Structures are given as C-alpha cells and as structure tokens.
C-alpha cells in the first residue's frame, strides 16, 4: 500500500510501504475512506515532537471501512463503516476507567505518532472495540472526520476545561480547525462575547460567520489593548490557546480576567514564561489537556442533528495520493484560504 511517511523534520514522502496486519486479537485493520491533516502534523513536520521516528506513517484522523478484525473484537466486523478516534484506548485500565483515554496505559495518543497512522490506504487500530465508533448508514462521512480529533479537542481541552458559562466573555486564540471547533462547541453554553484572535484574515472572516462576536488580527493590531478595551479593562473569563506558540500563550496570560481560566490546547515545542508576578493574585486556573475523546458520542449526536455543522470547516478536497499538495495547502492556509482539507482514498 502507499502512505505518507515522515523522514525527520521537514521531510516526508508518499511512498510504498507494507500493508498493516492484525498483530493482537484486539486489533482491526481499517481501509481509509477519508482522512485529513492536523495542526499537530505540522508541529511534527517542524520538529516540535522529536520523539516521532523516521519511517512513521503520520495521521490520526479519518473514517474508513473495516477490512479485518482480530478474534476478540466484538463490537465491529468486516465491512462496518467507522470513525477512527485520534486516541486509542483499551477501556479497561485505571486511566480509561476514569475517562482519561488520552493516558490509557496501553494506548493514548499513539496513532501517527508512536505507531503508524491514518494518512495511508490502510491503518491498524489497536483496541478497536473502544477506539472506533460505528457510522450509521446514510451519514455524511466527511462531517464525521471532524469527530476524530478537532471537535472533541476544541470541546474538551478548550470549552470544558475553560469552564465556559452563559454570559461569559471568552477569547479563542487561533482560528485554525481546532480553534474553530472550540468556537462552535463553546456556543452550547451561550457565552455573551466570543473574541477570536489570529493573523489570517480569511480564517477570522470565517470565524465571524461561525459566531465570533469580535475578531482581531494580532499581526495588524495590539490584541492585548483591543481585548482590554472590549472588556472594560477586566480581561476575559476564559482564554483558549489553540495555536501552540510562546506568543499566544503569553497573550492568554495578559488578557485573563480575575477568576478566569486559561485553557491550553496547543502542542508546544518550546518553554513559555509563566507570569506569576502578575497572575499569583488573580484567582485564575491554567489547564492543559491531551484530548480524551470521551465526549465523541455526545458530539456525534450534535453533528447528526445539525446542532453544529463542522462540515463547513472543509475548504479543500484532494485524492489521498495528492497528500503532498494537501500538506502544502494546509501549511499555507492564509495564502490558500484553507481550513480543514479532506483526502479521499
């Protein structure tokens, strides 16, 4: 089969590799139907995650059709359509029992990171029973790709950890697919004001159509001053970091109001300064989280009932073998007016 193989920072190739096989009785092999590229893949390509080995097939999102199941898989059979969760979980260990699938003792986020991923014609999914979700007949599979990662990530790491409440003023820093997922799902809780910050005018314009009440291009304007003036110098109740950069985390520290919550989503490759000299007395909380994907079944219902329409995040469609071009488009999102790209096998 062919797959997108990582060969160290800045190096990747669409090349011939071995087709995955069942290794454990709890595995499934899935034929990819649709997959996509995540901001985290861009962090890997930049070298922010040096633990990723040369030869790794990237990708941790997608929908597909089961090709084969191991003898102890009981929830799925050959031919079933499934959503692949970006997090692999056994469902049985202490962390899984606590709902913290991201730290499953036998899984967690391993796909396209520690084991081969979904930017391929086929992928092996360990602990298939707990790591795949059935797709009912007639569903819009493209929309469901957004349930692999970005929707649970924006919701769990951003909205739930950020404790968004009715009437709150929130800021979302980063209007990529993950920031947009936080924007869509924050509205379950009817915050009064949603300020979205990015440097990409196209993404900011899209954020406005998705419910942002204010947009700020932080390359063109002083985001701290603007947010302080929008909040009567009080700062925001929740600041969601959805970039994974030093400047954007420090922006969250500068705009957080008393009693507020900084909810970090971004994958960081560099240390940031914790400004305790200003924050020690502000009654704030700072949370970090690797997405658990425990809310996937709930989010699935909101997508099926069209309470949220993540399909609108898809701007570009490619064939899977055009994946190098798709990476270029996603990497140059402002130039290409890109949000989520879909690759079809």
Ligand X SMILES: NC(=O)c1ccc[n+]([C@@H]2O[C@H](COP(=O)([O-])OP(=O)(O)OC[C@H]3O[C@@H](n4cnc5c(N)ncnc54)[C@H](O)[C@@H]3O)[C@@H](O)[C@H]2O)c1
Name the one range near Zn ion by CB under 5 A: 9-17, 29-37, 96-104, 320-328: 96-104
- Does residue 42 touch ligand X according to CB under 6 A? yes
- Does residue 93 touch Zn ion according to CB under 5 A? yes
- Does residue 129 touch Zn ion according to CB under 5 A? no
- Does residue 253 touch ligand X according to CB under 6 A? no
Q: Exposed e or buried b for every residue in 229-246, given b needs 16+ CB within 10 A? A: ebbeeebbbbbbbbbbbe
Question: Tokens at residue 96, please?
Answer: 């899984």
Instruction: Quote the DSSP letter at residue 120.
Output: B
- Does residue 108 touch ligand X according to CB under 6 A? no
Sort 22 into a burial class: Cβ within 10 Å, 0-12 / 13-18 / 19+: middle
Give the E-state strand segments of 147-255 in sequence order.
169-173, 193-198, 214-217, 236-241
Map tokens 């820093």 to a residue: 173
Cα–Cα distance between 68 and 27 in angstroms, integer?
Answer: 9
Nearer to ligand X, 132 or 252 (CB): 252
Q: Pick from 31, 43, 208, 282 the residue near ligand X by CB under 6 A.
A: 43
Cα–Cα distance between 339 and 313 in angstroms, integer?
Answer: 6
Nearer to ligand X, 66 or 147 (CB): 147
Cα–Cα distance between 250 and 172 in angstroms, integer?
Answer: 13
- Does residue 178 touch ligand X according to CB under 6 A? yes
Q: Pick from 26, 35, 36, 40 the residue near ligand X by CB under 6 A.
A: 40
Nearer to Zn ion, 176 or 257 (CB): 176
Radius of gyration in angstroms for the set of CA atoms belonging to the chain, rounded to a whole number: 20
Q: Pick from 84, 115, 243, 294 the residue near ligand X by CB under 6 A.
A: 243
Which among 224, 247, 271 has a CA at the least distance from the CA of 174? 247
Q: Pick from 27, 67, 129, 149 the residue near Zn ion by CB under 5 A.
A: 149
Nearer to Zn ion, 36 or 315 (CB): 36
Name the one range near ligand X by CB under 6 A: 50-58, 125-133, 170-178, 297-305: 170-178
Nearer to ligand X, 133 or 327 (CB): 327
Which among 226, 218, 225, 276 has a CA at the least distance from the CA of 247? 218
Cα–Cα distance between 177 and 308 in angstroms, integer?
Answer: 14
Nearer to Zn ion, 208 or 289 (CB): 289
Q: Give me the residues that bind ligand X (CB under 6 A), please.
A: 38-40, 42-43, 149, 153, 157, 173-179, 197-200, 203, 218, 242-245, 247-248, 265-267, 289-291, 333
Q: Contact residues for Zn ion (CB under 5 A)?
A: 38, 40, 89-90, 93, 96, 104, 149
């Amino acid at each position: 089969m062919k797959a997108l193989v990582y060969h160290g920072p800045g190096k990747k190739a669409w090349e011939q590799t071995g087709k995955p096989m069942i290794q454990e009785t709890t595995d499934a092999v899935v034929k990819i139907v649709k997959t996509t590229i995540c901001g985290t893949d861009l962090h890997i390509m930049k070298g922010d995650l040096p633990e990723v080995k040369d030869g790794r097939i990237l990708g941790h999102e997608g929908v597909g059709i089961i090709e084969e199941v191991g003898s102890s898989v009981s929830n799925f059979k050959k031919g079933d359509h499934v959503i692949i969760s970006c997090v692999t979980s056994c469902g049985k260990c202490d962390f899984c029992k606590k709902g913290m699938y991201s730290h499953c003792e036998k899984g967690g986020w391993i796909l396209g990171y520690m084991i081969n991923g979904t930017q391929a014609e086929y992928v092996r999914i360990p602990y298939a029973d707990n790591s795949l979700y059935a797709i009912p007949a007639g569903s819009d599979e493209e929309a469901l790709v957004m349930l692999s990662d970005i929707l649970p990530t924006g919701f769990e790491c951003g909205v739930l950890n950020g404790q968004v409440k009715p009437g709150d003023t929130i800021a979302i820093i980063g209007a990529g697919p993950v920031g947009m997922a936080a924007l869509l799902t924050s509205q379950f809780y009817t915050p009064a004001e949603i300020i979205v910050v990015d440097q990409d005018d196209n993404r900011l314009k899209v954020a406005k159509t998705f419910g942002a009440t204010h947009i700020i291009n932080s390359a063109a304007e002083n985001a701290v001053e603007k947010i302080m003036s929008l909040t009567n110098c009080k700062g925001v109740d929740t600041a969601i970091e959805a970039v994974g950069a030093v400047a954007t985390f420090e922006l969250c520290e500068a705009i957080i109001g008393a009693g507020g919550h900084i909810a970090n989503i971004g994958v960081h490759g560099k240390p940031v300064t914790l400004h305790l000299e200003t924050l020690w007395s502000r009654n704030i909380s700072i949370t970090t989280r690797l997405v658990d994907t425990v809310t996937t079944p709930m989010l699935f219902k909101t997508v099926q009932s069209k309470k949220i329409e993540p399909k609108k995040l898809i701007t570009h469609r490619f064939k899977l073998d055009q994946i190098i071009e798709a990476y270029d488009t996603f990497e140059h999102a402002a130039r290409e007016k890109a949000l989520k790209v879909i690759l079809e096998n």
